[in-house]
Chains A and B, each alone.
Chain A
Amino acid sequence: MSLQALTYLVVGASFALYIGIAIWSKAQNTGDFYVAGKGVHPIANGMATAADWMSAASFLSMAGLIAFLGYDGSVYLMGWTGGYVLLALLLAPYLRKFGKYTIPEFIGERYYSNTARIVAVICLIFISFTYVAGQMRGVGIVFSRFLNVDIGTGLTVGMTIVFFYAVLGGMKGITYTQVAQYCVLIFAYTVPAVFISLQVTGIAVPQIAFGSEISGGSTYLLEKLDQVVTDLGFAAYTSGTKSRIDVFCITAALMAGTAGLPHVLVRFFTVPKVRDARASAGWALLFIAILYTTAPAVASMARLNLTQTIQPGPVGAATGNLAYDERPQWFRNWEATGLLRFEDRNGDGRIQYYDDSNDDRRVQFEGYGWKGNELEVDNDIIVLANPEIANLPDWVIALVAAGGIAAALSTAAGLLLVISAAISHDILKGVLMPHISERRELLAGRIAAGVAIVVAGYLGYNPPGFVAQVVAFAFGLAAASLFPVILLGIFSVRMNKEGAIAGMLAGLIFTLGYILTFKGVFFPPLLDNTPDHWLFGISPEGIGFVGMLLNFGVAFSVSRVTAPPPVEVTQLVERIRVPR
């Protein structure tokens, strides 16, 4: 069977599975639709949370990012897992005890204010749509590379599947499809990782292979990698180039942002008990850690494979570089997508891949007759191209395609659900039409989900030029707005409406303003995005951490000089602090 037919078969089978689950788990009422009737087993919820959380970015882009960033890539590894400690210890159990349907609803009741609720809805919708656009791009890449359909058709198919189970099944449908999607994606991620570990080091467990000697030599993988990349002028793999303070702040912003992401938080509303919410966070982190400890191993091996493919001989030797005419098949496949580009600057018919911005080595490289780096590699292709680079069997490649789609669809569905719940439950029922019947609210939720899917599809087909930039927004905003307000709502009885709103606005405006200054997005950036212009040397990716501190400071100060919250709210806080 050809690779393409096999891919259609595997992806098609996974789609059939998701649709089957959607029909089996149709939502009957708003409780099912928003929180799966609060009847999800903690292990199932752990898997669903993991699939919800691990997006196209985790599955497709993260290992590639780390491969090129080396040590600096640790910010994603620690940031996106360490947030679960905050979630499990500081938020999840209490939100479960609160026992309602949405995050803005918690904020609205705790701060006895519809204004606070609406500010929260705005943050939530902004964060979630940003994220969805990224997922859709992931679906588009997989479809166009592996199924040879145009992106529009690919998106339509993906959207139809999500429409089916999100609109029909609501949270209940999404939960059980996410369980299936987790299984598909983790299998698709680990199988090629095991194969590659075996090839590179002869050891099957990627986490151990990562620290082992490479096959047929007596050098450690990481030692070899450091040597190979520094020979070509790149920074050593195990020591980064970002400043210490920036690494610190980015990690902190990603952690707090993770803990403040509404589509992850809402998953903890779906389990039966407070105890289950705590346990479920543990299961979720276990399922996530399997991928997150594998990814850096894959990243290092992929970087080594790639570098040695392009530079098979000694650096500087006339025949040390790969001749373009002899490039392998995977190289040709990815060139066709435009994500891998070669330009023969010195006209020698061979590929030079090195760091041409390294001033200390410029003279040396020019001495070889090199006239600049000739290869552009997009981060996103590393995971997808890995099985091809390592010559793995066709079924593994088909599996990776299905895994990438599973990762993107599961996250997209979770996000679409929080968007629709915010519209039907927080805006419609909470503010505009408090007396709406449950049947009509459910219908409104379904319509909102449908509309959100169409908007997401549109964003995927016409990705706004700033998708990559706005990812910093999603985490920075979650860290600077939602996370502190929810945290203070639980841990500070004295925190009041004025403090919370002032804090949220301060965090939001500061973070948004800082990111816009350097990234522009809607207009040309006001300042160059370089360390000399940054506040305390903190990049826009890490500024959410400062925004968060600002939020805490402002909320605290304002709350001390305004009236304490009413007694019902004090009782609410005391009630959510104990399981019974």
Chain B
Amino acid sequence: MSRQGDVRAYWRANLRLVGLCLAVWFLFSFGFGILLVEPLNRIQFGGFKLGFWFAQQGSIYIFLLLVVIYAWAMARLDRRYGVEED
């Protein structure tokens, strides 16, 4: 494949990954922490109501996980498409 074609495919793969990560990001913060907080609060999670836990703790752990996974997955994509820095 040409360099041009590689770069296009790389960008599409990146966009797919970003889209997936942002969907998870939205689900756990805006979804579980805000929009669905009341139904989730009926579930007890240790000493927490589950919705409250997502809003004040869980969402932050998910954010961290997402950023780490993205950095790792992109480093792999960089290598697969031969665009990594030396």
Please give the residue numbers on chain A whose beta carbons come within 8 Å of chain B beta carbons, in ascending order.
66, 71, 73-74, 77-78, 81-82, 84-85, 88-90, 93, 207, 210-213, 220-223, 238-239, 244, 247-248, 251-252, 273-275, 278-279, 281-282, 285-286, 289, 292-293, 296, 574, 577-580
Q: Is the CB of B63 within 8 A of A81?
A: yes
Query: Quick one: closest A residue to B49, CB to CB?
Result: A238
Q: A71-B55, A223-B47, A289-B61 are in contact. Are A239 and B41 (CB under 8 A)?
A: yes
Q: Is the CB of A222 within 8 A of B60?
A: no
B67 on interface, CB distance cutoff 8 Å:
yes
Q: Is the CB of B47 within 8 A of A85?
A: no
Q: Is the CB of B63 within 8 A of A222?
A: no
Q: List 17 A-B contacts (CB under 8 A).
A: A77-B60, A78-B59, A82-B29, A85-B21, A85-B22, A88-B71, A222-B48, A222-B52, A244-B34, A244-B35, A248-B34, A252-B30, A281-B71, A293-B60, A577-B11, A578-B83, A579-B85
Q: Is the CB of A88 within 8 A of B67?
A: yes
Collect the chain A residues with CB atoms within 8 Å of residue B30's CB: 248, 251-252
Q: Which of B29, B53, B70 has most chain A Cβ within 10 Å?
A: B29
Which one of A66, A89, A211, A247 lies within 8 Å of B70 (CB-CB)?
Answer: A89
Collect the chain B residues with CB atoms within 8 Å of residue A252's CB: 30
Which one of B7, B46, B70 lies within 8 Å of A88 (CB-CB)?
Answer: B70
Q: Is the CB of A77 within 8 A of B56?
A: yes
B18 to chain A, nearest CB (A): 5
Q: A82-B25, A239-B41, A579-B84 are in contact. Are A221 and B60 (CB under 8 A)?
A: no
Q: Which of B41, B56, B66, B71 has most chain A Cβ within 10 Å?
A: B56
A96 to chain B, nearest CB (A): 10
Q: Is the CB of A282 within 8 A of B71?
A: yes
Collect the chain A residues with CB atoms within 8 Å of residue B11's CB: 577-578
B43 on interface, CB distance cutoff 8 Å:
no
Collect the chain A residues with CB atoms within 8 Å of residue B64's CB: 282, 285-286, 289
Q: A85-B22, A275-B78 are in contact. Are A574 and B7 (CB under 8 A)?
A: yes
Q: Is the CB of B67 within 8 A of A74?
A: no
State the CA gap A22–B46 with chains docked (Å): 47
* Count of inter-chain pairs, beta carbons less than 8 A: 135
Collect the chain B residues with CB atoms within 8 Å of residue A85's CB: 21-22, 25, 63, 66-67
Collect the chain B residues with CB atoms within 8 Å of residue A273's CB: 85
Collect the chain B residues with CB atoms within 8 Å of residue A293's CB: 57, 60-61
Q: Is the CB of A292 within 8 A of B60?
A: yes
Collect the chain B residues with CB atoms within 8 Å of residue A281's CB: 67, 71
Q: Is the CB of B29 within 8 A of A78?
A: yes
Collect the chain A residues with CB atoms within 8 Å of residue B34's CB: 74, 78, 244, 247-248, 251
Collect the chain A residues with CB atoms within 8 Å of residue B71's CB: 88, 275, 278-279, 281-282
Q: Which of A78, A88, A273 has most chain B Cβ within 10 Å?
A: A78
Query: Quick one: closest A residue to B6, CB to CB?
Result: A578
State the CA gap A285–B86 with chains docked (Å): 26
B68 on interface, CB distance cutoff 8 Å:
yes
Q: Is the CB of B29 within 8 A of A222?
A: no
Collect the chain A residues with CB atoms within 8 Å of residue B41's CB: 238-239
A463 to chain B, nearest CB (A): 30
State the CA gap A66–B53 with chains docked (Å): 14
Q: Is the CB of A580 within 8 A of B63?
A: no
Q: A89-B21, A275-B75, A577-B11 are in contact. Are A213 and B47 (CB under 8 A)?
A: yes
A295 to chain B, nearest CB (A): 9
Collect the chain B residues with CB atoms within 8 Å of residue A580's CB: 78, 83-86
Q: Is the CB of B67 within 8 A of A238?
A: no
Q: Is the CB of B83 within 8 A of A579?
A: yes
Query: Quick one: closest A residue to B7, CB to CB?
Result: A578
Q: Is the CB of A296 within 8 A of B56?
A: yes
Q: A84-B67, A248-B30 are in contact. Are A78 and B55 (CB under 8 A)?
A: yes
Q: 8 extra interchain contacts, Cβ-Cβ under 8 A, other than A82-B29, A278-B74? A: A66-B56, A74-B52, A82-B63, A85-B66, A212-B46, A244-B35, A296-B57, A578-B11
State the CA gap A34–B38 with chains docked (Å): 47
Interface mask (B27-55 → A, CB under 8 Å = 1, otherwise 0): 00110011101100100011111001101
Q: A220-B47, A580-B83 are in contact. Are A78 and B74 (CB under 8 A)?
A: no
State the CA gap A66–B56 with chains docked (Å): 10
4 interchain residue pairs of minimum CB distance:
A220-B47, A211-B47, A74-B55, A278-B71
State the CA gap A66–B85 with chains docked (Å): 43
Q: Is the CB of B45 within 8 A of A211?
A: yes
Query: Quick one: closest A residue to B53, CB to CB?
Result: A211
Collect the chain A residues with CB atoms within 8 Å of residue B10's CB: 578
Collect the chain A residues with CB atoms within 8 Å of residue B45's CB: 211
